[in-house]
Amino acid sequence: YQRRVHGLNTGDHAWLYLWLFLTLFVLVFNVAYPIYIAPLFNKFTPLTGPIKVALEELILTTGLSCKNVFEVDGSRQSAHSNAYVSGLLGSKRIVIYDTLIKDLDNDTEAIKSIVAHEIGHSILHHTWGLLLVVQLNFFVMFFTFGTLAHSTALPRSFGFDAPVPFLRLHCFMTVYSGLILPLFMAFTHFFTRKLEFQADAYAVKLGFDLRDPLLRIMQKNLGDLNPDPLHSAWHHTHPPIV
C-alpha cells in the first residue's frame, strides 16, 4: 500500500508528508486570508471618525502590532454582529462588523471593550494555540490512518471483501468521525471557552466592563443567554452570558 508524490515513492510516510503540507497550507492561508481572500466576499473600508481614534488609542495601550483597522459590511450576509483580529505576521488587522457598530449604537466605549477582548486573543497568542489544536487533530487522524493503512480488518468488519484503498479510507473516516472526532470537538470547545475567559480577563484588566456590551449584542443576535449547561459544555465555543 504505497503513495506517490510527484513521482516519488512516499511509502508508509505518506500521512506525514500530507500533514506537513496541510500545516504549511494552514499557515499560508492565515497570512493570506485577510488580505486576498476575505475581500473577495466583503467590502473592507478603513475605519474613520471617533471610533477609529478610540481604537488607535487602545492599540497603543495594548502594544498590539497592528496598524490596520477596518469596517466590514458583514450585514450583507447576516445580522450577526462581530469583531475580530485576523492575520499572522504582517497581515494582522482589526475588523469590526457594521452590525456591531449599529447594535451598540455607535457607543465608542462599548465598541472599545469588545475590541479589547479581541485584542486579548491576539496578545495572548490564542490564534497559535487554536492552530496547534487543529493540527493536533489532523496529526492524530493522519497518523492513525497511516498506521491502519495495511490492515484489512476494518473494511472487512463493514462487510467489504475487497478492501481497496478507497474503502479503507471510507471505513476509517466513518469510525473516526463517529467515535473520535466528537470527543475531540468537545475538548476543542472546552479549550476555546478557556481562551474566551482569558480574553475577557484581559479586557477587564484594561478597565473595561464587558457585561453590558455583551448582553446587548446577545439580545440583538437573538442568542441564548442561559443555555442548558450540558448542551453548552458539549457544543458551544463561547461561555454563556448568564
DSSP-H helix ranges across 33-152:
50-62, 98-103, 108-123, 126-148
- Active-site residue, 200 included: yes
- Active-site residue, 71 included: no
Please enumerate in sequence order all residues whose Cβ is within 8 A of that of 135, keeping only pairs 6 or more positions apart, or say none. Answer: 19, 22, 23, 26
User: What does the block give as the cell for 189?
Assistant: 470547545
Catalytic residue among 71, 103, 118, 196: 118
Closest to 206 measured CA to CA, from 122, 120, 133, 107:
120
Catalytic residue among 71, 103, 196, 200: 200
Q: How many helices (H) and strands (E) does the chain have?
A: 10, 6
Active site residues: 118, 200
